[in-house]
Structure 1
């Protein structure tokens, strides 16, 4: 990736690019972004922990070479604006503009925006960003409700702006190799998928010190709520929003969205045919509304052919870390393990059991995927 043009093209058209409604962004979208000699001014909407620790540093690593500029930081919380200015100074030695809200942000006229706000705000901010004439990189989850997702999709179609959704697996070379291997036919038909994301972290998504320090006057609570029903100021729902519906779905939006995305990507199927789920708050009785333990069972396959398909079992708990994080794909010939990055014949159809039914054995050849 040697030029700014290559960067934009890869963002818009590459394997990590967004596919809205199953359709990849077109070459015309790439051509529409800017002239090849113009510096692209990028605003940050939401100075989050994720932005400061990874997104921002990754951006700055290539910005000068590709003629991008981190131009302004917009956040409704005064503390985050101050932290953003200090962070940028420490990274570059330079100063940066700030904006208290999106009204001020649009007055500053950025060309593109990195959306790093609360989960439930992503789709709504994305719609606002592209309608303001900007291109967008948006953290996952894309949306927490179908209404919000459809509003963002409508805005994307109206404006034809370049949009990319940040989903971790899409950037991993091992995941790209796994997809290529499955789509090549060597793996055989997917018959089952098992996924877990287990931790033992009572403090996960908690911010007790910041909750004690923040005051309503420091931010803009009504702007924060966007289209959610009004309720009085609650610092936990502002800072620990991942624990509270309707501001976040918790486990599904935070973790499952990364993992289940690989099923759609590898199989080419846009949606599950059905899903059932169950969960609860079994351990961490800290006032949260979202589950600390959840299991979901999905049925995937063509909608016009119920005889074809496979099952996905997803489970996650925040109360015991045994099992860790894994994605296991199974065919009749073996297993693709995206934790070890190995394809093996484990569980495949052996000669003995195949012969009993007059069938041929199917055992995958061992294969190592690229490491992350």
Structure 2
């Protein structure tokens, strides 16, 4: 897909829509058998960042609490937003705005169960949405001036375009055969001292996007990024 987008197959990409949705409580863990004497709670507190006495829920359902995660921004957005930097050839977003809340699972959680962020790259707006309340609607769509790529279905089409040079016939995007897995690539590069396919710079760029989205949700403001000072603004 990166090759297709970089090669201009769907023209200039100006909008991307990414969504993950689930309904079942994936975070639910049985805590009745967890005993304080079996846990190194001091180590889990990570230098005092996690406050208070032993809490079995914080240990086993850490995805729910702000002391242990920034929520969907860090847990799920990060799985897809790295594609934006890669496919758009743009390492850092310009701005991010985010909304969300606990709308269904009133179980003491502090992180949102419905979430949407808009992340602006150069000449392209990427939206990411996730809900834990209904599993319908998952997608990963890239909209260009000459067509659309459905990254979930691995399909390219001219849908939505009236450009005379648009994609005229829908077609599958062929998977590249024999691609080394990310883990195998990483381990090989540890041994060879080569740069892995996903470099530390790539990791940093999508971490920036996640931090921008999380900060926007927490503060209720539009968050920017200074690429010179490497600071959120």
- Per-residue Cα deviation, 1:271-322 (whole angstroms, up to 9, x for no partner): 1100000000000000100000001011101xxxxxxx11011111000111
Is the CA contact (8 Å cut-off) linking 1:332 and 1:362 kept in structure 2?
A: no
TM-score, normalising length: structure 1? 0.45
**Greater CA drift, 223-232 or 264-273:** 223-232
- Give the greater-gyration-radius structure (CA): 1
Paired residues for 1:285-296 under 5 Å: 285-296=106-117
Question: 2: CA distance between counterparts of 1:230 and 1:250?
Answer: 18
Instruction: Give the C-alpha shift of residue 185 in structure 1.
Output: 2.2
Query: Where in structure 2 are there 5+ consecutive unaligned residues?
Result: 177-233
The answer to whether residue 19 in structure 2 is matched with residue 216 in structure 1 is no
Question: 1: CA distance between counterparts of 2:72 and 2:162?
Answer: 35
- Per-residue Cα deviation, 1:103-124 (whole angstroms, up to 9, x for no partner): xxxxxxxxxxxxxxxxxxxxxx
TM-score, normalising length: structure 2? 0.71
The answer to whether residue 161 in structure 2 is matched with residue 364 in structure 1 is no
Say which SS state the counterpart of residue 311 (structure 1) adopts: strand
Query: Where in structure 1 are there 5+ consecutive unaligned residues?
Result: 1-177, 302-308, 351-360
Question: 2: CA distance between counterparts of 1:294 and 1:271?
Answer: 21
Is the CA contact (8 Å cut-off) linking 2:101 and 2:115 kept in structure 1?
A: yes
Is the CA contact (8 Å cut-off) linking 2:50 and 2:68 kept in structure 1?
A: no
- The answer for the alignment partner of 2:186 in structure 1 is none
> Aligned pairs, how many?
174
Say which SS state the counterpart of residue 349 (structure 1) adopts: coil
Instruction: Give the C-alpha shift of residue 230 in structure 1.
Output: 2.6
Question: 1: CA distance between counterparts of 2:69 and 2:51?
Answer: 16
Question: 1: CA distance between counterparts of 2:51 and 2:75?
Answer: 24
Which structure has more relative contact order (CA 8 Å, sep 6+)? It is 2
Say which SS state the counterpart of residue 299 (structure 1) adopts: strand
The answer to whether residue 7 in structure 2 is matched with residue 181 in structure 1 is no
